[in-house]
Amino acid sequence: MHEREHSALPRGQRISSLGREIKNRSSHIGQTQGFAVTAALNINDDQYKPLILKEQTRLLFEHLPFVLIGSLVSATGVAVILWNEVAHSVLLGWTALVYLLCLARWKIRQYFMRLGTDYDANRWIHVATALTALAGLLWGSMGVLFFEDTPLVLMTLVIVLGGMTAGAVSSHSCHLPAYIAFAVPAVSPFALRCFAELDGFHIVLGTLSLTFMLVNILYGRNLQGNLLETMRLRFQNADLVVALTHQKEAVEQASLAKTRFLAAASHDLRQPVQAIELFVDVLDQDLKDTPATVMLNRIRAAGRGLETLLNALLDFSKIDAAAITPDKKHFPIQAIFDVLHTDFCAQADRKGISIRFVESRLCVHSDPNLLERILRNFVSNAIKYTPAGSVLIGCRRQESDVRIEVHDTGIGIPDKAREKVFKEFVQLDNPERDREKGLGLGLYIASSLAGLLGHPIRLNSTVGRGSVFSVTVPLGKIQTETPDQLVQPSPNQGLRDKTVLFIDDDPNLRVGVAEMLERWDCAAVTAESAQEALELMQMSGFVPDVIVADYRLRHDETGVQAIKAIQARWGTVPAAILTGDTEPDRIREARSSGFPLVHKPLSAAKLRTLLTHLLGKP
């Protein structure tokens, strides 16, 4: 509950290394993906030159219809205006050439458009530039053929040539050489003809014409630069989209691989913890009321600490990998209270503080397993950081919601640290990194799970007086069933002379379960697979009274398949699934089998409760 930043763990290095390994794998994946994006952005512009050249060629031909319409209209207007000023044969001949050139350019454009994207850009951009140069020469010839020192002719030449030169900027700026090929031969003949008059007015007129042409060329160069930059960015963005698509696929694959890794780590690490816990329970019965009990209790406490740290790290890793899928249902909150009361009473008694759960008849709508983990972390922190006093857990109904509160009389949390305590590996009151106070993951896991479920959490605290952690859950419909938690341990009744078949591929776990069952006067039969179990049953003729099978067995076999194979041969036998998996899909598969699902590690008390529950005896 009171947590401070964690940089290194002086104890429990083997357990904490798992968390670092998982984080390092995530970091490596992220770095690899980051390099992919950087590579996509660090692109040599030269690689886009062929694409940009094709785009320039396409634009020249796409803009051609507007150019041709402008040419035809302008040529017709010139013929009409200068009909009485220029020889008819010259005027008609020039106009006919303009029409013929426009027709030729239109036919060439049609042929080009039929090529689609399969064309040689170098060749076709030269064709387009050459046609533009011919048009420029034809319009430039007007400045010589039609030149007369009369106001009407001069005004017509200046307006038409200036207009054509200015209008061509927008249609030819995608390729500056094409614009220059038009503008220079269109304006230069008229300017030179003006200079040939050798008088001030015509020299000024020629100079202004050349200046206008140069200004338009510079303007066209700027337009081309902007257009080429736009093209380059468009192609670069297209490549980036492809790179990000590949990166997304890589992230999804990495996430799946990480989830599989976490599931394997959970299963493999829970197996020895489960075996250790059972061996300790066996020794507890053999060494009861002997001096060795003190040492055994220390071993048990160390084992429980190992289990707590392992569960915290696996929960943290699953949250980090987004590998948890809520399975919401309606259930009575008292079912969780009963479980937590049994699990935490002894811990509170050892510390000398009282713990009380206020009985509630309310039902909530949530994932019972995830909600239990949230409350378990709240209660665990309350006990750890309450030196003396009490811990109280209860519910308050708020219209359509239920607020579940955990009160403690601990030292409280300063205002400035209230957001900080919900971050990972943060402990405010544990500078010595006391292992008994955990890793600083409890509140982070609770906060993350609450966010996943959409349940708001709140913290109210007064330094020196205590804290209240709460989670608000939607009110549920009244149900008669309890969640997946088992009925709590009951006295050893109804197990004597019962035959229990235990199927698991871990030899140490099979030995631990067999030793424990023998001390309960049960006949224990263990096997590593369904085939081995069937062979033992065939040879000895025994039929088990109850079956407990690990979900994940060798050769891709599952405990569900093993149980169904035995039941198909020997009839219906009460059975349950034991699992150390955390992968959501596997848990859903196990639950969908209809058999009770119990998570490892499973203590002797809970194993006994499971067996009596399956046998249908209180």
Instruction: List, for residues 224-279, the tens digit of each pLDDT value.
Output: 888 888 888 888 888 888 888 888 888 777 766 665 666 566 666 666 776 777 67
- Give the three-state DSSP class for 606: helix
β-pairing, 390-398 vs 354-357, is parallel
- Can you give the pLDDT at residue 417? 64
Integer Cα distance of 406 and 394 in angstroms:
7
Integer Cα distance of 378 and 450 in angstroms:
12
Distances (CA, A) of 141 to 95, 98, 166: 11, 11, 18
CB 231, CB 58: distance < 8 Å:
no
Phi, psi angle pair for 500, to nearest 5°:
-115, 125
pLDDT digits (tens, 9 = 90+) for 153-205: 889 999 999 888 888 888 888 889 998 999 999 999 999 999 998 888 889 99
Integer Cα distance of 180 and 129 in angstroms:
9
Edge-to-edge order in the sheet of strand 597-599: 523-527, 499-503, 546-550, 575-579, 597-599
Q: How big is the CA angle at 167 (ends 162 and 172), to the nearest 5 degrees?
A: 125
CB 470, CB 458: distance < 8 Å:
yes
Give the pLDDT band of residue 356 (cuts 50, 70, 90). very high
Instruction: Answer yes or no: is pLDDT of 4 > 50.
Output: no
Q: Which of 91-95, 107-111, 481-485, 535-539 has the lowest mean pLDDT?
A: 481-485
Quote the tokens at residue 194: 């003006």
Integer Cα distance of 402 and 213 in angstroms:
80
Give the pLDDT band of residue 101 (cuts 50, 70, 90). very high
- 512: nearest Cα among 267, 268, 277: 277
- Can you give the pLDDT at residue 272? 72
Distances (CA, A) of 565 to 159, 342, 548, 571: 97, 36, 13, 10
> What is the average pLDDT across 557-572?
88
- Give the three-state DSSP class for 437: helix
Tell me whether residue 582 is exposed, middle or buried, using C-beta atoms within 10 angstroms of its C-beta: 0 to 12, 13 to 18, 19 or more. Answer: buried
> What is the average pLDDT across 348-364?
90
Give the homologous superfamily in CATH for domain 326-474.
Histidine kinase-like ATPase, C-terminal domain (3.30.565.10)
Give the pLDDT band of residue 589 (cuts 50, 70, 90). confident
Report the percentage of the chain scoring pLDDT > 70.
Answer: 77
Q: Which of 186-190, 215-219, 307-311, 354-358 has the lowest mean pLDDT?
A: 307-311
What is 267-323+487-618's CATH number? 3.40.50.2300
Integer Cα distance of 360 and 335 in angstroms:
10
Integer Cα distance of 618 and 613 in angstroms:
7
Tokens 């640290």, residue? 417
- Can you give the pLDDT at residue 420? 66
- Can you give the pLDDT at residue 617? 45
More confident residue, 359 or 448: 359
- Can you give the pLDDT at residue 256? 64
> What is the average pLDDT across 516-544?
86
Give the pLDDT band of residue 595 (cuts 50, 70, 90). confident
Distances (CA, A) of 142 to 78, 104, 138, 195, 307: 10, 20, 7, 16, 96
- Local structure of residue 486 (DSSP, 8 states): P
Instruction: Answer yes or no: is pLDDT of 39 > 50.
Output: no
- Identify whether 544 is preceded by a cis peptide bond (ω within 30 of 0): no
Mean pLDDT of the chain: 79
> What is the average pLDDT across 591-598?
80
Q: How big is the CA angle at 601 (ends 597 and 605), to the nearest 5 degrees?
A: 85
- Can you give the pLDDT at residue 485? 42
pTM of the model: 0.43
- Can you give the pLDDT at residue 369? 79
- Can you give the pLDDT at residue 310? 62
- Can you give the pLDDT at residue 546? 92
Integer Cα distance of 594 and 600 in angstroms:
18
- Give the three-state DSSP class for 129: helix
